[in-house]
Structure 1
Amino acid sequence: MVDPTPLRPASLHEEVAARLRTMVFDRVLAPGQWIDEMALARDWQISRTPLREALKVLAAEGLVTLVPRQGCKVTELSEEDADELFPVMALLEGRCAYEAVQKATPADLKQLRRLHEALEKHAAAKNVDGYYRANHEFHTKVQSLADNRWLDRTTGDLRKFVRLLRGRQLHWPGRIEESIGEHRQLIDAMEKGDAQRAERLMHDHLMAQLAALKALRAHEEAERSTQHA
């Protein structure tokens, strides 16, 4: 017999997982940081059981790493991870742009234009955090417009790891100006219905992010070496 008891829309551990996920993406919990389970349980007034269940969910997603007998820490992407991840994302997001152009309605393109205008505003103000958030929203919308459940699933899963970097490449001098220039070309291709050009531009946009990230990391490493010399 089926249990007639109404189910809650979300169990406690799912709610906790959603909150933790947001903290990771917003870098409230930074990459490599150990998670203080006792402090979180105290602050949220919950037992450690739903918290541990939530951490298992995030571990399955790859956002946190469970270390036996030590605890749990936020996943930190290495340079090798970034080198391998961004080319794959470039292919996937390029395909998203291609299919989005083929399926987008005039109303969809108007919405994309509004998202682009938000990017323009943040770029002009050199607001890195605002630009990062608007950029994520723009890319997510393009992915949605592609309306391909297999592409959406794969791209969405990998986008979580890109979000662990939280737009660090935008801190490289001149990167915001370069990025908004790339977006201007992209929105132009999409509005003109040029799917192949949009695919190429989106691909190159992701690879430019990787190049800026590598330049930033090399600069930071050089500074550390100078300080320790």
Structure 2
Amino acid sequence: MSGHVNSMHDQVAQQLRDLIFGGELSPGAFVDETLLCEQLAVSRTPLREALKVLTAEGLIRHEPRRGCFVNQVSEQDLDEIFPVIALLEGRCAFEATQQATDADIATLDVLHHQLEDSAAHGLIPQYYAANYAIHEAIIAMAGNKWLAQVIGDLRKILKLARLQQLNAPGRLSQSLNEHMVIFAALKARDAEGADAAMRNHLTQQREALRLLARQNKSRISVSNLEQVKHGVST
């Protein structure tokens, strides 16, 4: 019986993640348990167990006497997470370089051709997909379950922030160049070079996001100023 309950709340936890990552439960939103029970056709028990799982993952926060809310990722969170994930993925690249077989290199070669093709045609969603597949392949090649687990946990938090770093000016070609440097080091069996190149790649992602945040802020300021001017003139 307990196995059934476990699988039930795991299932509900995945449905909640899908609602969050799909934008149906947006950052900062109140989690209405009654509504969700109806929507997901489940009772309170598996829903509450699922909410505990997502709270432990950092996707949900529980406020005493107020209930559960979808977490919001601040600029400070990003400043704290990116150096950590850069270290972890750098270590993955190091271990993957030591472990990779010729077949692994061939798989990465195909993925990098997809990456180049997507970048050449400015296909951002396809670029994201190939980029994700490359990072996943490198994690799998490293074969370190502990690294994979911690990176997976941090990735969920970053996914919550709906990061669009490739929209920063010039970022697409810059990201492609960084990937080619990582791949070159991996092919050359230069573990330390792959580690450094991967850390640089993640650090540059954070800088691209910082640039986007500044641009968005200045756009909002200009728009507010125009509204004020418009208000004064009417």
> Cα distance, 1:73 vs. partner?
2.1
Q: What number of residue pairs does the alignment pair up?
A: 225
Are the structure 2 counterparts of residues 161 and 7 from structure 1 closer, same or farther at C-alpha, using a change threshold of 3 Å? Answer: closer
Q: What are the residue-to-residue correspondences of 1:52-71 with 2, within 5 Å?
A: 52-71=48-67
The residue identity in structure 2 corresponding to 1:190 is L
| Equivalent in the alignment of 1:139 | 135
Question: Which structure is higher in helix share?
Answer: 2
Root mean square deviation of aligned Cα: 2.1
Are the structure 2 counterparts of residues 50 and 6 from structure 1 closer, same or farther at C-alpha, using a change threshold of 3 Å? Answer: closer
- Mapped partners of 2:17, 2:110: distance in 1: 27
Q: What are the residue-to-residue correspondences of 1:1-229 with 2, within 5 Å?
A: 7-8=3-4, 11-229=7-225
Runs (5+) with no aligned partner, structure 2: 226-234
Identity %: 44
Q: What do residues 115-135 of structure 1 show as CA deviations (whole Å, max 9, x unaligned)?
A: 223323332333333322332
Calculate the TM-score normalised by the size of structure 2.
0.86
Calculate the TM-score normalised by the size of structure 1.
0.88
Are the structure 2 counterparts of residues 182 and 36 from structure 1 closer, same or farther at C-alpha, using a change threshold of 3 Å? Answer: same
Indicate the structure (1 or 2) with the bigger Cα radius of gyration.
2
> Cα distance, 1:162 vs. partner?
2.1
Are the structure 2 counterparts of residues 175 and 33 from structure 1 closer, same or farther at C-alpha, using a change threshold of 3 Å? Answer: farther
Which has the larger displacement, 38-47 or 169-178? 38-47
The residue identity in structure 2 corresponding to 1:18 is Q
> Cα distance, 1:98 vs. partner?
0.7
User: Is the contact between residue 13 and residue 54 of structure 1 (CA under 8 Å) also seen in structure 2?
Assistant: yes
Q: What do residues 190-228 of structure 1 show as CA deviations (whole Å, max 9, x unaligned)?
A: 122121211111000000000000010011111112222
Runs (5+) with no aligned partner, structure 1: none
